[in-house]
Structure 1
Amino acid sequence: MKKLKAPMLALLMLLSVDTFAMDNKQLAFQLTTLFRSSRSIVTKNKPFIGNPRESLKGESPDDFIISFLIQTKKIYKKTTGSRFPPTDDTPEGVLRGHLIDSIVSVIIKAVKGQYEGVFKYSPATHFKKGVNVYDNKFLPARYAVEVMKEFNARTEGKALLKLTAPDKLLVKRSNAPDEWEKKILNSIFSKAGYERGSPFSEVTTYKGQKAFRQLLPEYYKKGCIGCHGAEAGQNGPNIHQSGKGYPLKTLGGGISIIILMDG
């Protein structure tokens, strides 16, 4: 068998890495977009936020989750122009399956009342003491944390989802950006000409291991501003690390995903 010359071998290895990165770029966007699609349903469902179990109104938990997934996939398709890919035995399909299973698990727990009494003021947040308006509410941010915890456990750390935000906008302390996320939030997304809403992707390292990373930016919309805004009746000053509220279209943070790579 004819041996490949060193330059050709190096080129093939480089192409392989680039292809792997491109595959992960697509996979990461699929996962973050499906997650965001599911969270948008929670954001719009005020009775569910108030009390998931009581919001069923005679609907069974199974019927509720079927409807929830159908709506999630409709929003995903509207956002991307494509259907959410299958959950199969490929590495990519397995990760997609883990996310679907995590969403289902969290919604089922919520409508069965398993989170009741769990969410109260905590020093793990930047909530001002005495702010109890969010006690026992199944907020979109709390939904996000629960789904991501489930997903990260199911993947055994091979892929990780996390919400993050600029320091001044932090609400939950554990969402503080790491150095890579800070760089993207503070420098890349603010660059003149950077396409608003476009995710930033990079092959880098995570805790000493080669990793594909992507950060999908999020901006304050109408559904966010009641909690994060600065106007009368809005709670930004009571929940942000900065003690301030912020207007619509502010870069509020991003959905961060890490996919560990071999080698």
Structure 2
Amino acid sequence: MGIAILSLVWSTSTRAANETEIAEHLIELVNIGRTVVLEHQATINDAAKADKGFTGEFMADEVMERFKKKTKIDLRIPNVVPHANTYVAMLEAEREVVDEAQPVINRQGVGFKGFLHAVFARRVGEHFYQKTGARMKLTGIDYRNSRSKPDDFELEVLRMFSDQRHPKGQVYARNTMVDGRPVLRVMDPEYAAVSCLSCHGVPKGERDITGMKKEGWKEGEFAGAISLVLPLK
């Protein structure tokens, strides 16, 4: 599936009703991809096996199928899907990231490959930006990678999410300006799942498999957010 670079910009007439829904669908697409990576982590890290079968095509098929089940949107027939180019750009970014990682994923004799769902998401965000000009990243107050460092807007919202008075799971969206241009900024809070705790749980300060210090998270605690910056006219 190929896709040309597109301009991800909505006019005033379409954005009020659609922009937040589009953002939520984009977040859903990347979250499905992260889940697929997480579910296949043991296969990816299998030192005894060379060809894992974990390809970009496999990723795209899984994402499309699960996205359809969640949203009733079938990206296999994009010509009947509103804003399909935007969603397909995200899907294509996910496919490309997995395809580019094939030499690492299929490296025999090596266990931990470093191809984690957070790494996947960061690379997908980079590819998506190149295709659309829209920015997506994982961010948090306790960030590990400098590219995940929150900007002032994100830090403000992260602090709001971490306040126990904020309704758990409630997305935050605001029309604002970035570099003199109107954008929609959307942040979706995330909470520590059991699968997060092997790297981010207790005891705090212990080194995880990546060599980083654990943050001491407990299941269900606020962990960070997905941040989207979508250009508007």
TM-score grouping bracket, smaller chain normalisation = 0.7 to 0.9
1:8-57 Cα distance to aligned partner (Å, 9 max, x none) = xxxxxxxx848513311000000011100111110121234426994644
**Residue number in structure 1 paired with 2:32:** 37
Task: Quote the residue 1:200 is aligned against.
Answer: 172
Counterpart Cα distance in 2 of 1:41 and 1:206: 33
Secondary structure, aligned partner of 1:197: coil
Q: What amino acid is aligned across from residue 139 of structure 1 in structure 2?
A: L
Matches within 5 A, 1:22-171: 22-50=17-45, 54=49, 56-57=51-52, 59=53, 64-78=55-69, 80-84=70-74, 87-88=78-79, 92-111=83-102, 113=103, 136-155=113-132, 157=133, 159-166=134-141, 169-171=142-144
Q: Unaligned stretches of 5+ in structure 2?
A: 1-10
What's the CA shift for 1:257?
A: 0.6
**Structure 1 residue 75 displacement after superposition:** 3.5
Give, in angstroms, the shift of residue 66 of structure 1: 3.9
Greater alpha carbon shift after TM alignment, 140-149 vs 69-78: 69-78
Query: Against the structure 1 CA distance between its residues 93 and 32, is the aligned structure 2 distance closer, same or farther, given a 3 Å change threshold?
Result: same
Quick check: 2:89–2:131 contact (8 Å CA) kept in 1? yes
Ranked by relative contact order (alpha carbons within 8 Å, sequence separation 6 or more), the top structure is 2
Alignment length (residue pairs): 218
Residue 20 (structure 1) aligns with: 15
Deviations 1:63-106 (A, max 9, x none): x444433332343345x453355644998322111111111111
CA distance in 1, matches of 2:215, 2:99: 35
TM-score (norm: length of structure 2): 0.79
Give the superposition deviation at 1:108: 1.5
* SS of aligned partner of 2:154: helix
Equivalent residue letter for 1:170: Y
Matches of 1:52 and 1:91, distance apart in 2: 43
1:115 offset after TM fit, Å? 7.4
Greater Rg by CA: 1
Question: Is 1:227 aligned with 2:199?
Answer: yes
Which ranges in structure 1 are unaligned for 5 or more consecutive residues?
1-15, 118-132
Give the structure 1 partner of residue 222 of structure 2: 251
1:211 partnered with 2:201:
no
**1:199: how far off?**
1.4
Identity over aligned pairs, percent = 21
**RMSD over aligned Cα atoms:** 3.3
Q: 1:182 aligns with which of 155, 177, 195?
A: 155
Quick one: which amino acid aligns to residue 27 of structure 1?
A: I
Q: Partner of 1:83: helix, strand, or coil?
A: coil
Structure 1 residue 209 displacement after superposition: 1.2
